[in-house]
Amino acid sequence: MTKALDTSHLWMPFTANRQYKAKPRLMASASGMYYATDDGRKILDATAGLWCVNAGHCHPRIVEAVQKQVAIMDFAPTFQMGHAKAFEAATALAEMAPEGLNRIFFCNDGSEGVDTALKIALAYHRMRGDAGRTRLIGRERAYHGVGFGGIAVGGIAGNRKQFGPGLAADHLRHPLNIEKNAYSRGLPLHGAEIADELEQRLLALHDPSTVAAVIVEPLQGSTGVILPPKGYLEKIRAICDKHGILLIFDEVITGFGRLGTAFGADFFKVKPDMMVCAKGLTNATVPMGAVIVKQEIHDAFMDAAPADTIEFFHGYTYSGHPVAAAAAIATLEVYKEEQLFERAAEMSSYFEEAAHSLKGLPFVKDIRNLGLVCGIELEGITGKPGARAYDLFNKAFWYKGLLLRTTADVIALSPPLIINKAQVDEIFGSIADLLKAIK
Ligand SMILES: Cc1ncc(COP(=O)(O)O)c(C=O)c1O
Please enumerate in sequence order all residues whose Cβ is within 8 A of that of 10, keeping only pairs 6 or more positions apart, or say none.
none
pLDDT digits (tens, 9 = 90+) for 267-278: 999 999 999 999
Angle of the 84-96 helix axis to the 322-337 helix axis, nearest 10? 30
How far is ligand 1, taken at its centre, from the CA of residue 111, in Å? 6
Task: Tell me whether the CATH fold assigned to 17-55+339-436 matches the one assigned to 63-337.
Answer: no
Record: fold of 63-337: Aspartate Aminotransferase; domain 2 (3.40.640)
Residue of 47, 253, 282, 286 with the most ligand 1 atoms within 8 Å of its CB, for mutation? 253
Give the span between the Cα atoms of 322 and 29, in whole angstroms.
25
- Under DSSP, is residue 172 helix (H, G, I), strand (E, B) or coil? strand
pLDDT at 177: 95
Q: Is 386 helix (H, G, I), strand (E, B) or coil?
A: coil
* Superfamily grouping for domain 17-55+339-436: Aspartate Aminotransferase, domain 1 (3.90.1150.10)
Which residue has a Cα nearest atom 7 of ligand 1? 110
Q: Strand 373-378 to strand 410-413: parallel, antiparallel, or no bridges (unpaired)? A: antiparallel
Quick check: 50 pLDDT over 70?
A: yes
Whole-structure pTM value = 0.98
- Ligand 1 binding residues, C-beta < 6 A: 109-111, 114, 143-145, 217, 221-222, 250, 252-253, 278
More confident residue, 386 or 2: 386
Per-residue pLDDT at 132 exceeds 50: yes
- In this prediction, residues 33-50 reach a mean pLDDT of 97
Per-residue pLDDT, 1? 45
Q: What share of the chain is helix, strand, coil (3-state, %, to 5)?
A: 40, 20, 40
Cα 113 to averaged position of ligand 1 atoms, centre (Å): 9
Decide: 411 and 431 in contact? Cβ < 8 Å.
yes
Q: Do residues 375 and 367 touch, judged by C-beta distance below 8 A?
A: yes
Q: What percent of the chain has pLDDT over 90?
A: 96
Atom 13 in ligand 1: residue holding the nearest Cα:
145
Question: Which atom of ligand 1 lies nearest, measured to the CA of 278?
Answer: 10
Examine the pLDDT at 206 and tell me if it is beyond 80: yes
Indicate the SS3 state at residue 40: coil
The stretch 281-306 carries a mean pLDDT of: 97
Q: Does the pLDDT value for residue 184 go beyond 90?
A: yes
From the alpha carbon of 222, which atom of ligand 1 is closest?
16
Over the chain, what is the mean pLDDT?
97
pLDDT of 290 > 90? The answer is yes
Buried b (16+ CB within 10 A) or exposed e, 358-390: beebebbebbbbbbbbbbbbbebeeeeebebbb
Task: Please give the backbone phi and psi of residue 60, each rounded to the nearest 5 degrees, phi first.
Answer: -55, -40
Ligand 1 center to residue 144 CA distance, Å? 6
Residue boundaries of the structural domains of the chain: 17-55+339-436, 63-337
Q: Whose CA is nearest to atom 8 of ligand 1?
A: 110
Please give the Cα distance from 25 to 34 (Å, whole number): 15
- The pick from 220, 227, 252, 286 for probing ligand 1's pocket by mutation, whose C-beta has the most ligand atoms within 8 angstroms, reads 252
CB burial readout 128-167, b (16+ within 10 A) else e: eeeeebebbbbbbbbbbbbbebbbbbbbbeebeeeeeeeb
| Ligand 1 mean position, distance from CA 276 (Å) | 9
Is-contact 117 274, C-beta < 8 A? yes
Residues 170-177, mean pLDDT to the nearest whole number? 96
Atom of ligand 1 nearest to the CA of 279: 10
Pocket test for ligand 1, best of 141, 143, 276 (most atoms within 8 A of CB): 143
Say yes or no to pLDDT of 264 above 60: yes
3-state secondary structure of 175: coil
Cα–Cα distance for residue pair 280/288, rounded to 1 Å? 9
Pocket test for ligand 1, best of 15, 111, 159, 174 (most atoms within 8 A of CB): 111
